[in-house]
Amino acid sequence: MNLKISALDYIQEVKNGNISAEEFISKTLEQIKNVDDKLHAFLSVNEFAVEQAKEIDKKIKSDEKVGNCFGMPISIKDNLCIKDSKTTCASKMLEDFIAPYDATVIKKLKQQDAIFIGKVNMDEFAMGLTTEFSAFGPSRNPWNIEYVPGGSSGGSAVSVSAFECVASLGSDTGGSVRNPASFCSTVGYKPTYGLISRFGL
């Protein structure tokens, strides 16, 4: 299966029944297992992702309403709260913090049947430009592991560039999405200020 697929193509392929969400998620998890020891994009991986994908496939087969993401694997920067999951901000201070609620953006993605494949690395408290300053070790650029991936959303850019997910949700105040995207040859967007809620960030 080809993991080198755009978000729009993924949605179309699953919607048309050419690929299943379960199959794509399984291959994505296999890719993470194969490459992430060297790249260190992920701080944690969603152990329920395959089961969640099976539920998406059941909905599709039974003609139930499916959200616009159709089980798309999305990685999440580890400063965004997912209820009942660790949110560390790449800091030892928050190593055992379990988020008691979903960030607004997370809630909206859940409503659209996105699958969060895992939480990804970042500069501690998003204070950095290289993702070398994570308490859990640096991330590496997939194009050359001797190079930095940029930051602070370095894990997001690495995970997209290395086909460990289809898309990633980061955060950007002064370039923290756009900078690593440019380092890793991916596309990063910073939305209009105030357009997207920062609750839970």
Q: Is 4 a catalytic residue?
A: no
Q: Are 146 and 183 in contact, with CB atoms under 8 Å apart?
A: no
Catalytic residue among 77, 85, 156, 171: 77
Q: Is 176 a catalytic residue?
A: yes
Angstrom CA distances, 82 to 58, 60, 77, 126, stand at 24, 25, 10, 17
- Indicate the SS3 state at residue 20: coil
Angstrom CA distances, 16 to 3, 13, 131, 170, stand at 17, 5, 38, 29
Q: Is 161 a catalytic residue?
A: no
Q: How many other C-beta atoms are found inside a 10 Å radius of the C-beta of residue 12?
A: 14
Catalytic residue among 20, 85, 152, 153: 152
Nearest-angstrom CA–CA distance, 153 and 179? 8
Query: Residue 75 is which amino acid?
Result: S
Tokens 């009942």 sit on residue = 84
Catalytic residues: 77, 152, 176
